[in-house]
A = this chain, B = another copy of it.
Amino acid sequence: MTEILVVGELINSTRKAVKAALEAKDASVIRRLAREQVEAGADIIDVNTATSMEHEVDDMKWVIGLIHDEVGNVRLSIDSPSAEAMASGLELCQGRPLINSINNDPRGRAFIDIVKRFDGDIIGLPMGGKVGVPRTVEERLDEVDIMLSTLDDAGVDPSRLYIDSIVMTIGSNQEQGRIVIESVREIKKRYGSRGVKTSVGLSNISFGLPRRSLINQAFLAMLLEAGLDMALIDPRDVGMISTMRAAEAIVGTDAGCLRYIKHVRKLAG
């Protein structure tokens, strides 16, 4: 067992401040978000410029350049619904990239070509094959089977794959919490021997609820116990990082609780 990977989610063009920075070409906002996330402990920085529409590719390149200039060769997550933007982003990555994301929709074949062309880890959304958005654990697992079969055919190593179990808010459907936890547990059990890992975009769980960080933290602890390998979060949320370090100490992935103790010292200092 290894420590969970933290993907910093903040450089995302659906966030108002980032969208404005992209429009105004305000490098300082991007540089600050990159630095803050790395300093807060992010292992990978997500880059999403999708709302820039026809400027997505240019914005992607500009942001990647800024991040590498600001914090060196940190790992990047290239997050785009456009295969063109994805490829142009991946070309500029200095560390091993994270391809965010592929799914089973037949219209997304270009992404299979991308994961063949570029090495790096892959976030896979278990959807778009037999069903659109999966409702149950079983539908998610069926979609994982489809994805693994596609990747096998393409000669892509399944150990590059992090399955994102698609978190939806418990505010509208309360079964979603248990479904995602059970999906993570089952994916590790069924596909762990092939090296398949798990990821979540965690904060969706609390959308529409008050004091979201309380829900997010409890959910993170549960997911980590279920075997989560990677989480897209705001790494500046000290409560989230504290929960992660505590959870790792409990499940034993932080041998001797050393990382936890170091974190607590940093909190105090």
Binding site for B on A (CB under 8 A): 170-171, 174-175, 177-178, 181, 205, 209-211, 214-215, 217-219, 221-222, 224-226, 242-243, 245-247, 249-252, 255-257, 260-261, 264-265, 267
Partner of A214, one of B170, B181, B264: B264
Contact of B209 with A260 in the complex, beta carbons under 8 Å:
yes
Q: Which of B171, B224, B249 contacts A215 (CB 8 A)?
A: B249
Main secondary structure of the interface of A (DSSP, over half): helix
- Expressed in whole angstroms, the minimum distance between the Cβ of A72 and any Cβ of chain B is 31
Docked CA distance A265–B209 (Å): 12
B252 & A211 in contact (Cβ 8 Å cutoff): no
Q: Is the CB of A170 within 8 A of B249?
A: yes
The chain B residue sitting closest to A244, CB to CB, is B218
Most buried by B among A178, A242, A249: A249
Say whether, besides A209-B257, A222-B225, A215 and B250 are in contact (CB < 8 Å). yes
Are B252 and A177 touching (Cβ within 8 A)?
A: yes
Q: Is the CB of A171 within 8 A of B257?
A: yes
